Structure formats: C-alpha cells, structure tokens
Structure 1
Amino acid sequence: MKLQHPLFLTVLIASSLTLTACSSSPTGRQQVLLFSGNDMSQLGAQSFEELKKQEKINTDAKTNQYVQCVTSAITTQLGPQPDFDQWEVVVFDSDQVNAFALPGGKIGVYTGLLNVAKNQDQLATVIGHEIGHVIAQHSNERLSRSQLANAGLELTNIAMSGTQYQGVAMAGLGLGVQYGVLMPYGRAQESESDIIGLRLMAESGFDPYQSVELWKNMAKASGGNQPPELLSTHPSHATRIDDLKAEIAQLPATNTKRQSCTL
C-alpha cells in the first residue's frame, strides 16, 4: 500500500481537529475551541492564585467597594455561568493602566486604571470588555490556535524535511504564527470584546457614551506611542472609538436604571 504524502496528512489532521471543535462566539464569529470550559476554568484559577502571590493586593476598603460595585452590576446581569460558581475580583496596587479577566471568572483591576477611567461608566467599559473575553472564550480560542499552530509547524517541518521548500515554508509559517495566530488576543478578539463589553455595560445601567471618552483618555495616557495597528494586538484608538460610536447608535434602550458606584 502506498503511504499518503506527509503534507497531505498534515492538512487532514488539522482539518479534522478544526471541524470537530468548531463553535461560534456571542457575536456569531466562528471559533475553534479544543479545551473544555472546566479545564479552562481550572487553568484560570491556577494562574490567578499565582498572580495574587506575586502582585501587591490593594486593601483600601473604599477602592475595593467601588470596583466591586461596578463589577457586580455587570456580572449580576449575566446570571449563572456554566463552568464556575462565582466571579472573583481583586484590586492590585500598581501604576499599570490595566485590568484583565481569566477563565473561571477571575478579574483583576490595577489601581493605575482608576486614574484613566475617570468615572463608574468608564470603569464599566474596561471591566465589561475584560468579561467579554471570558464569555466569548477567547483564552480557549487563543490556546487552541496555539496548539494547532505548534502541531502544524512540527508536522510541516517533517513533511518538508529534505526538500528545497523546507526553509521557505518554515519561514512563512513562522511569520504567520507570530503575527496571525499566537499574538495575545488578536484584533478580532479585542474588537469583539469591545462590542460585547459595550452591550454588557449598557444593559447594566451604565452610560455607553462614556466608552468613547474612556478610549480618548487611553489615547492621551499612551502619549501617542501606540504601535502600528497591523502589528498590534489591539485596534488603534481611533478605530476603537469609531467602532464604538457605530455600535452605540444601534444599541436598544435596554436599561433606564442608572448605576451609582462612587469612589
């Protein structure tokens, strides 16, 4: 019996994995998810515990109450989650203008963010965005793509071994992996989380127009040092603002009750 060409096997294996793990995000975007929600939740919880050991945790009662108030307004709107019991929020003492959310409902907010997110609505924009990553399973998607990319690189290297195309093929795949597959939260995911987060914060009683003001503040805080959009994991500030304005115009009147979280 004649063996199939290794490159054909590479394509066949990758195609089989993709077809068996195909899913859709909350906005309808096609995803490949190879890992269970429970596995991702455990991974997120482990990472969060390690981070809490490394970072200084803020203990100011007023600051924590404020962040918890904004976060709870959004997570309550979401209801029970299939892969974890409750959301956990920790405020870290750091000048970083940042926040994150991990699988398993683990949310971290750095105090430096509160200097740029000037009010509850702007903070809700960021927290809604980060929660969007969780409910859209972006970490699972990123890890799954990484797994497929690693398998593809290894199999392709074998398939091309000893041929004149090996160097060209690996160089091309390396560039594609670096700027297309393995970058943390690609632009499609970031833009999707912007939309999911905007909807979440608006439904939770926050002012969606403040999302635009938040990203104007972010642009000022970055000092114009943002890398070219093509090589960035995030959309440019201008792109983000334009996309948010377009989405705001389409938002239904969902929640007339205004939240009241103060620092």
Structure 2
Amino acid sequence: MLKKFLLSTAVSLALTACATSPTGRSQFIYMSDNQVDQMGLQSFSDMKSKNPITQNPRYSQFASCVAQAITQQTGGQWEVVVFEDETLNAFALPGNKIGVHTGLINLVDNQDQLAAVIGHEVGHVLARHSNERLSQETAVSTGLSMVQAVSQPQTALGQTALGLLGVGAQYGVILPFSRVHETEADTIGVDLMAKAGFDPRQSVNLWLKMDKAAQGGQPIEFMSTHPSHGSRIENLNQHMNQALQMQQQARNNGRQPHCSK
C-alpha cells in the first residue's frame, strides 16, 4: 500500500512539474515562479547594498538603452544596474533584474555586442533555467529553506541557493548552468537581439573578443561557466539566417536602436 502511495505521489509530482521551454524542450519545474522571483529580488537587493554601483552616467545610460530595447520584446518592467567591477560579466535574475559590470562595457565595441550578452542572460530568465535547476537540485522538503537562505548569503545553504540562481560568484561559489541551458539561452538571446533590431552577427564577434580577453589573462566570470567559444559560435552560425530575417523584419517595423557607448 505504501509503495503504491509513493508511486502515485511520484507520478503526480512528475505530471504537475512538467513544463516546456520557449524552444520546445521539456522541463522539470516544481518550484513556483513567485518563489524563484523572490529569491532573485532578494539576491539583487543584497548585491546593490554590498557591491559598488557605477557613478558614470554614460555607462548606466548605455546599458539601460540596450537592455530596454531587448526587454521591450519580453514585456514587463526590468531594473538595470551597472556595477563597478572590472570582470567581464553580466547577469539577469528572476524578478526582472539585470546587472552589468563596467569591465564588460569597456570591452564591447558597440551596442550590438552588449545586446548579445544581455539577450543571452535574459534568455536564461525567460526559459526559467533558475527554477529548473532549483527544482532539480533541491528536494521538496528543503525548498522553503532554500528561499529563506537567500537572505543569509554568508551561510553555506545561502551560497548554494545563490549559486543555483547563477549569481554565486560574489560569495565564492559558481554553479554553472548546463550546456543545454547555455545553448538554449544563446538561441533565445540572439533572437531577442534580432527582434529588437540589433545585428545578430555581432554576437559572434563578441564571443571572439571574450575568448581573446581570456587568453590575455583578464578575469572573465562569464566565460568561466559557459561553453567554449568554438561550439557557441558554431551554434550561433547555424541559427544566423533565421536571426537575420528577424532583424530585417524589426528594421522594417522601425525598430533600430541607437545606444551610444
């Protein structure tokens, strides 16, 4: 009787937790989006209180201009903050939060290259990758404690929770997204930037610049947890014709961003 009950419970859980990503991939999503959003909001608030925010208005305006063009394609209100940090990094969190490091802004040549990174990170949020990873990595019985742990990032559990969100670098732990998640975020991201009117071909140039910077010994948190530039560029090139068609349609509809660095 107990075995039948457990089996029935497991089947019920699997059915209720079944979801589909924007690219059509099957996902296991158990935690509520509201829970994960609250974790993202808490961690972002904590970052802003503990990490310096740039006082350079040009950096803030540039990042906000690019991010707003991207997020107009997703809907919702997104907060964008530029952190004074020379590492080449950017991130997006559940709860519609975007962080960009000054080091990344200094690296990119133009708006399109920054759009490639921001589009990729927003892609993680749209595909609910944090929720998927939290659902897979945490048992139902510890879900609540994980949510609470975000408010205590110095604890071991808090570090794990932040790492699962994808923002654990500030606390000494990074739990990278899977290769599947990264490839999916690349596809979603290049489509987002193209729909916003950015040049998707610049995404390839951006990853080449990131790889060159890594070989030069620059600290790149972003690349340390992502696929090699070769496989990423191959995947992007396979999708490029479709992305270019999206960009042309966006331009025909008057979407042509003008974000000055």
Quick check: TM above 0.5?
yes
| Alpha-carbon separation, structure 2, partners of 1:147 and 1:71 | 31
CA deviations 1:150-209 (Å, max 9, x no partner) are 98xxxxxxxxxxxxxxxxxxxxxxxxxxxxxx9431111111000000000000010000
Larger radius of gyration: 1
CA deviations 1:82-102 (Å, max 9, x no partner) are xxxx21000000111000000
Residue 138 of structure 2: aligned partner: 147
Q: Structure 2 residue aligned with 1:125, among 106, 109, 116?
A: 116
Q: For 2:81, give the aligned amino acid.
A: V
Q: Does 1:26 align with 2:18?
A: no
| Alpha-carbon separation, structure 2, partners of 1:73 and 1:114 | 17
TM-score between both structures, scaled by the size of structure 2: 0.77
| Alpha-carbon separation, structure 2, partners of 1:190 and 1:41 | 20
Residue 138 of structure 1: aligned partner: 129
1:62 Cα deviation after fit: 1.2
1:222 Cα deviation after fit: 1.2
Unaligned ranges ≥5, structure 1: 81-85, 152-181, 226-231
1:37 Cα deviation after fit: 1.7
1:20 Cα deviation after fit: 1.6
| Alpha-carbon separation, structure 1, partners of 2:234 and 2:41 | 35
Spell out the pairing of 1:25-64 with structure 2 (5 A cutoff): 25-64=21-60
Q: Does 1:190 align with 2:172?
A: no
Identity of aligned residues (%): 51
Q: For 1:143, give the aligned amino acid.
A: L
Q: Does 1:68 align with 2:70?
A: no
Residue 236 of structure 1: aligned partner: 228
Q: For 2:79, give the aligned amino acid.
A: E
The change in CA–CA distance for 1:27 and 1:34 in structure 2 (over 3 A counts) is: same
| Alpha-carbon separation, structure 2, partners of 1:13 and 1:224 | 53
1:115 Cα deviation after fit: 2.7
CA deviations 1:207-259 (Å, max 9, x no partner) are 0000000000011111188xxxxxx8422110000110111122323211421
Residue 250 of structure 2: aligned partner: 255
Q: Structure 2 residue aligned with 1:201, among 193, 196, 208?
A: 193
Spell out the pairing of 1:90-105 with structure 2 (5 A cutoff): 90-105=81-96
- Partners of 1:198 and 1:208 within 8 A in 2: yes
The change in CA–CA distance for 1:26 and 1:214 in structure 2 (over 3 A counts) is: same
1:35 Cα deviation after fit: 1.5
TM-score between both structures, scaled by the size of structure 1: 0.76
| Alpha-carbon separation, structure 1, partners of 2:11 and 2:176 | 23
What is the RMSD of the two structures over their aligned residues, measured on CA atoms? 2.4
1:117 Cα deviation after fit: 2.0
Residue 228 of structure 1: aligned partner: none
Number of corresponding residues: 218
